[in-house]
Structure 1
Amino acid sequence: MVREHIDGAKFNKLRVQPAEFEKQVAWMKAQGFHFVTMQELQQNWGKHPEKTVAITFDDGYLDNLENAFPILEKYQAKATIYVVVDRHDRDWSTYKKAHHNSGELAREPKLSDEQILFLAKSGLVEIGSHTLTHANLAKLTDQQCLDELVESKHQLEQITGQAVSSFAYPFGIYSERDVELVRQANYTNAVTTVEGIDNDQPDFLQLQRIKISGKDSLFAVKLRLKLGNRGL
């Protein structure tokens, strides 16, 4: 999320303040980073400049439009937003449940379908899938899992009028079965929550990411982009 912290909130670590996000994007722009969507990253793998970055947001929060998008637009930086289709009034703050319906994250405003379409048409934002319900895939049968993957893809394509080829595993929880089902659902790339920078021959359905939290300084972000992890 890109929004101000909430006093006493449990998940402020998920909230990067807008001023900090702008510092991060401005620094990357000044350093000559090339911004791409995940689809572009995968399709042109091996042809990108050395300094290439793909910014990602999970879930589909309204702050992605209200706070992050103006900054992306200002610096002409691209990003991918992984949207939960049935995102309203759900809370995915615990992975112990199969589905999630109450709590702090449920109260966070989510993007409307019209706003998702606006972002998709902007030329700066790719819309990817984060399943129908942010389900814990490990708790689902093969068919239930495939339904989450296929139906979310279909509905997002109906909303945006664009092909949806990028996916993010909810909670970063997945197995070899889930990777195969993602392949069967015709996604071409998928991101995990494993922290790191992939080598020149990655598994495109198990891509690593660098996590930036609401507690990270700009120095920490710079270090993470260099090292690919949080380890200090």
Structure 2
Amino acid sequence: MPSPVKSPAAGPVPWIAMYHSVGDCSDDPYHVTVSPGRLERQLRWLGRRGLRGVSVAELLAARDRGEGRDLVGLTFDDGYADFLVHALPLLARWKCTATLFVLPGRLGGDNAWDPLGPRRPLLTADGIRRAAAEGVEIGSHGLTHVDLTRADDARLKAETVESRAALEELTGTAVNGFCYPYGTVDRRVMAAVREAGYAYACAVDPGELSGRHVLPRVHIGQRDTGVRLALKHRLHRWRRRPVEGLR
């Protein structure tokens, strides 16, 4: 009798950090902004522990080879314009890369989905192309930043399929990563993202869902000093279930 096909082994879930804006934190009711100085100290903390921040695509590729235990995924949601001004130079200084999840339906707009706090400008098409040219992985955050678990089928398809097509046309490269707006995801939304052709997707806390299309992430904010980072890094592997196919 032929041997039964074995499922891919499950490995420890990779540590993926979730950032948003990098700039002035004085008016930040959602706690989504880190100052450039704090980001540099956080990158320094990684470097001193033999860790390096990379894009999610690079992280997953390394893990597929059985490597990359010294790598940390760095993600920046929403595509704020301050990424080019503040984050990109620091990433280059510390020899890090990152994944930038952007909204092609809001190019050059602002964070209109946030009812509180200041309006923060988003990257234009040229800004996204500049980030990609500097080695930043560009991923989709949907078209317009809506809760996909509340979207009808037509809206869900537009936010996943059309956003990917728009970004691939804009950058001239494949877009393989998706990030769920607000971190909200259910089985229907996860299936739609997979069917849209994405190789992986990032959530926040996916609950009972598991796999490459609901990778959990850790929120990193202005208050995250070295002590807090160490605690978050340690607790992440204890709290998260292994991901199938990662070594």
TM-score, shorter chain, exceeding 0.5: yes
Of structures 1 and 2, the one scoring higher in RCO (CA 8 A, sep 6+) is: 2
Counterpart selection for 1:32 from 42, 47, 50: 50
Counterpart selection for 1:226 from 231, 234, 237: 234
In structure 1, stretches of 5+ residues that fail to align are 94-101, 197-201
Q: CA deviation at 1:195?
A: 8.1
Counterpart selection for 1:91 from 91, 107, 112: 112
In 1, the alpha carbon distance for the partners of 2:172 and 2:221 equals 32
In 1, the alpha carbon distance for the partners of 2:165 and 2:150 equals 22
What is aligned with 2:220?
A: 212
Q: CA deviation at 1:91?
A: 1.9
Equivalence map 1:26-175=2 (5 Å): 26-46=44-64, 47-87=66-106, 88-93=109-114, 104=117, 107-123=119-135, 125-175=136-186
Q: Secondary structure at the match of 1:214?
A: coil
Q: CA deviation at 1:43?
A: 3.0
RMSD: 2.0
In 1, the alpha carbon distance for the partners of 2:225 and 2:37 equals 11
In 1, the alpha carbon distance for the partners of 2:84 and 2:178 equals 20
Structure exhibiting the larger radius of gyration computed from Cα positions: 2
Counterpart selection for 2:198 from 165, 171, 187: 187
In 2, the alpha carbon distance for the partners of 1:176 and 1:113 equals 32
**Are the counterparts in 1 of residues 206 and 215 from structure 2 also a CA contact under 8 Å?**
no
What is aligned with 1:2?
A: 22
Structure 1 runs (4+) greater than 4 angstroms displaced: none
Q: TM-score, normalised by structure 2?
A: 0.80
- Give the count of matched residue pairs: 213
Residues 45-80 of structure 1, C-alpha deviation per residue, up to 9 Å, x if partnerless? 242232210100100001111111110010110110
In 2, the alpha carbon distance for the partners of 1:15 and 1:148 equals 25
What is aligned with 2:4?
A: none
In structure 2, stretches of 5+ residues that fail to align are 1-20, 240-247
In 2, the alpha carbon distance for the partners of 1:36 and 1:213 equals 18
